[in-house]
Structure 1
């Protein structure tokens, strides 16, 4: 079955998160995803709050920019969430927006090298290993977590990826991949192929989850809002991107992504969504029953 969720976009102020997280929990929404966008809201603090306010909804963070974070800190924060809320959190890491990284003086000369080193060290630390490494960016000297995630917890580290090299790296070194809302069904197929190339090169046979954001709008002005956001993001001419309409239209768009290889589809409201709470209800109560 395709997993379905929704995004709490950081264009909303942080104080709106509590009501929306609780609503997601009450309506049976499977997953609520948060973003760490510069310079809006932080991913770990928002995820911890959302998890504490709820009982069952799964909370994802997609994604944490690795240039901003020492890998030991990422591991400590991830392990803390997994121990306090076992089985309910998913964290994705990635390059981050390079212009934003430049603004804070953290832009890496080789983002791919940094991401590779971060992924390998992070997965090892969360697996309870003691790590010593002297990479170009990641340097650890006899580091191990005192409180790694419990052995029975399914801890996955996902990475956000768009370009071919990062997609291959995700297959090689991550447990799953997050694809942006700029990925049409054919793009998901291409991404799966590149991920599988990385998995084959690393001789990996474990499951690899693919999460795809789907820009969605509903209501009387939905087509206009969708067109405006796609145009603002430079995607106005990309076919089969985003969906505007009722629950049936949205469910069919979700199914197209699932048929292309998405395991999880996260519905992303437009930045100007007039009723974020209503969007969560729409996803959980109207779209979910129509998705296989």
Structure 2
């Protein structure tokens, strides 16, 4: 799979009207980015269906689910979707699977329980369903932050898709995964050179994620403190999570992830108030030359 080193992750792609999402994917492809990632969250459409729509509208770019929630479909259905899309678009589809978060799982009527056990059993179910399905070329990645889930990504998947992480986490993840597994971190970016404004936008972005234990516990394990996480996040945390500044500054952060062991970095352009696909595309246009796409 030739995705290059830089792709795009943006929540509006999975919520936009189909025609808008397809046009965005085409533009991202024409700019030279190697991937588009579709998430599954509140208000999102089915990421596997959206991925198929984007793949059918483009000719080269890879499309990944970042992530498809395992609580949203049983293991047999996930295996069938992976095989179907992988067969239709060989070498262009990545299936990212995750356990999501307790609040979101509870809203679906499920008990979050033990996420590592749930993922392990789900992968067992997918593997048992695979015989008889069409052969497809679709790597399976796991949403992983902490060592045990990263180990499962190493042992039972093609690698890991990480989110809301600084480059130091990428280095730790690479150590766990070894050298023969894919590692694709998401990186929030913002073309804004005013520190106060940039950090205000960064805090707006971080606010929701700092309510989720998975992300909070990962940051604490990385050495961030309770004071870093309080009051919307410290300047130190805002600067670690969001690469803000001019294009060259953003490129340095991408390089930091790659130097730490990432195979591919998925950029999420931030906007002042809410995810804005038009604004994201404008930032991606500006970034493309600096990234040497």
TM-score (norm 2): 0.80
The residue number in structure 2 matching 1:4 is 6
The residue number in structure 2 matching 1:288 is 291
Tell me: CA distance 1:258–1:124, structure 2 relative to 1, closer, same or farther (3 Å): farther
Tell me: CA distance 1:115–1:41, structure 2 relative to 1, closer, same or farther (3 Å): same
Answer 1 or 2: which has greater helix percent. Answer: 2
The residue number in structure 2 matching 1:163 is 146
**What are the residue-to-residue correspondences of 1:99-118 with 2, within 5 Å?**
99-118=103-122
Contact 1:158 1:174 in 2 (8 A): yes
Secondary structure at 1:10's aligned position in 2?
helix
Residue 60 of structure 1 and its aligned partner are, at CA, apart by: 0.9
What do the CA deviations read for 1:96-125 (whole angstroms, capped 9, x no partner)? 122111111123422211201222443565
Contact 2:47 2:65 in 1 (8 A): yes
Structure 1 CA distance for aligned equivalents of residues 167 and 25 of structure 2: 29
**What are the residue-to-residue correspondences of 1:70-81 with 2, within 5 Å?**
70-81=74-85
What do the CA deviations read for 1:14-70 (whole angstroms, capped 9, x no partner)? 213122111112222211111011332221111011111111111111111112211
| Runs of at least 5 residues in structure 1 that lack an aligned partner in the other structure | 131-143, 197-204
Structure 1 CA distance for aligned equivalents of residues 177 and 129 of structure 2: 23
The residue number in structure 1 matching 2:248 is 248
Q: Which of 187, 191, 204 is the equivalent residue of 1:228?
A: 204
Secondary structure at 2:118's aligned position in 1?
helix
Mean Cα deviation higher: 159-168 or 246-255? 159-168
Mean Cα deviation higher: 71-80 or 238-247? 238-247
Contact 2:269 2:284 in 1 (8 A): no
Q: CA RMSD in A?
A: 2.4
Q: Which of 207, 217, 221 is the equivalent residue of 2:190?
A: 217
| Runs of at least 5 residues in structure 2 that lack an aligned partner in the other structure | 211-228
Tell me: CA distance 1:169–1:242, structure 2 relative to 1, closer, same or farther (3 Å): same
What do the CA deviations read for 1:180-225 (whole angstroms, capped 9, x no partner)? 12x11211222223334xxxxxxxx8x2000001110114666142
Structure 2 CA distance for aligned equivalents of residues 269 and 229 of structure 1: 11
Contact 1:67 1:108 in 2 (8 A): no
Tell me: CA distance 1:278–1:269, structure 2 relative to 1, closer, same or farther (3 Å): same
Residue 166 of structure 1 and its aligned partner are, at CA, apart by: 1.3
Structure 2 CA distance for aligned equivalents of residues 10 and 97 of structure 1: 20
**What are the residue-to-residue correspondences of 1:188-203 with 2, within 5 Å?**
188-196=170-178
